[in-house]
Amino acid sequence: MTLSVPLTREHFERLDRDDPLSACRARFDLPEGEIYLDGNSLGAMPAHVPARIEKVLKEEWAHGLIRSWNDADWYPAPQRTGAKIAKLIGAQAHEVIVADSTSINLFKVLVAATRMQPGRKVILAEKGNFPTDVYIAAGVAELTGCELRCVEPDEVLDALNDSVAILSLTQVNFKSGRRYDMAAITARAHEVGALVVWDLCHSAGAMPIELNGANADFAVGCGYKYLNGGPGAPAFVFVAERHIAHVRQPLTGWHGHAKPFDFTHEYAPHPTIDRMLVGTAPQLGVLALEAALEVFEGVDMQVLRKKSVALCDLFIQLCDEQLLGLGVELRTPRDAEQRGSQVSLAHAEAYPVMQALIARGVVGDFRAPDILRFGFTPLYTRYVDVWDSVEALREILHSAEWNRPEFIARKSVT
């Protein structure tokens, strides 16, 4: 987006009036008077979730009791919710299931993928990926006798060769917001015989994703960021249809069994995506996530992406105009094609600056050591939020408002 006139707040108000997604904001329960730019850490609450959960508790659990596994359709909730997510990530309904956490799902698919690649011993991953991805891959490498090889993001293609069993990447980097070309990288990996695992934590729900269009093998992702499933919401896992019958994941719990309620002594994996399940599904989390996904009903993901790009472009443009000389450096690609739905700025005092912003009601995120991270969630972020947040940031930096004891003091965890 390029604009020839200087930007004003009125311009942003007009963009909000013309926004085809503007009605979606009312689907969320948001705090009054705040600008929430941290939906890529914890998505906002869809307004109808409490009523759904109240019914789950007071009717289905309290009065239906054990019968609700059948009568309230608790059993198929992981499959049902997976099918809803499938629509957002370019997968078929039977290729996605909700289970456990992203870390655990990554463990499952990495071990399963190494078993499909006898004779290959390298798990190729990227430096600077979200740490749990690297930690889990290291754990898998140790257990399976593989080697974990981590390279810089721009060295990934060159590092692909016929020793690589698995390429494990996150589509959008948690810190920089940099986005990989899923289709091109997957194609190149397949040329050398590697399988690819995509982590969609920072892309699912934030943009159109075409897993099958990219011929992806495996994917995992988070329920509590752009999918708005609530704190610690369960994660999802995708296995391409062609792989499902061959996947042997190592967490062989009873809910992944072909016939869990036959209580047989021998494990036999379920013939479908259900084999990715382990224990009993965390129903409160699954049902909250299922309800939360209703906010995507009727939303064209291309329209959502268009707004996301516009929000990020405008934020960058305003930063360029307003924050000149204030010690801020853009760390997210300017090219929208190489970007997710966030903008990251580096600043030497990023921690207290973010605390000062939060105190003013602009909630972004700090990422060590020096990143101010702003997530743009097109379903509830307004254009004026972009204007107001850069304005707040400008004032804080200009007046050194961040330089107060209460902002500098670190909280135990951030």
Report the alpha-carbon distance of residue 236 to residue 233 in Å, rounded: 10
How many angstroms separate the Cα of 346 from the Cα of each of 60, 161, 172, 218, 265? 48, 35, 18, 33, 56
Specify whether 307 is catalytic. Answer: no
Specify whether 382 is catalytic. Answer: no
The two tokens of residue 313 are 């472009």
Going by the DSSP 8-state scheme, the letter that residue 85 receives in this structure is H
From the list 97-105, 163-171, 189-197, 340-348, the region that binds a second copy by CB under 8 A is 97-105
Report the alpha-carbon distance of residue 392 to residue 382 in Å, rounded: 15
Residue the block writes with tokens 């965390």: 282
Binders in 238-267 for a second copy, by CB under 8 A: 250-255, 257, 260-265, 267
CB 56, min distance to a second copy, A:
8
End-to-end CA distance of the chain: 34
Binders in 351-410 for a second copy, by CB under 8 A: 358, 363, 365, 367-368
From the list 96-104, 321-329, 346-354, 391-399, the region that binds a second copy by CB under 8 A is 96-104
CB 268, min distance to a second copy, A:
9
**Can you give 293-361 as a three-state secondary structure string?**
HHHHCCCCHHHHHHHHHHHHHHHHHHHHHHCCCCCCEECCCCCHHHECCEEEEECCCHHHHHHHHHHCC
Which of 19, 38, 100, 199 is labelled catalytic? 199
Which of 12, 107, 174, 224 is labelled catalytic? 224
Which of 36, 130, 383, 407 is labelled catalytic? 130
- Check whether 370 is labelled as a binding-site residue: no
Give whichever of 284 and 303 is closer to a second copy, judged by the CB atom.
Answer: 284
In degrees and rounded to multiples of 5, residue 337 shows phi and psi of: -65, -20
CB 154, min distance to a second copy, A:
17
Residue the block writes with tokens 């792989």: 243
Give whichever of 62 and 184 is closer to a second copy, judged by the CB atom.
Answer: 62
Give whichever of 22 and 61 is closer to a second copy, judged by the CB atom.
Answer: 61
**Which residues, listed in sequence order, are joined to residue 238 by a DSSP beta bridge?**
96, 219
**Which residues, listed in sequence order, are joined to residue 339 by a DSSP beta bridge?**
178
> Is position 17 an interface residue for a second copy (rule: CB under 8 A)?
no
Binders in 285-304 for a second copy, by CB under 8 A: 285-286, 288
Specify whether 107 is catalytic. Answer: no
Report the alpha-carbon distance of residue 79 to residue 263 in Å, rounded: 21
- Indicate the annotated binding residues for pyridoxal 5'-phosphate: 102-103, 130-133, 170, 199, 202, 224, 254, 280
| Active site members | 130, 199, 224-225, 373
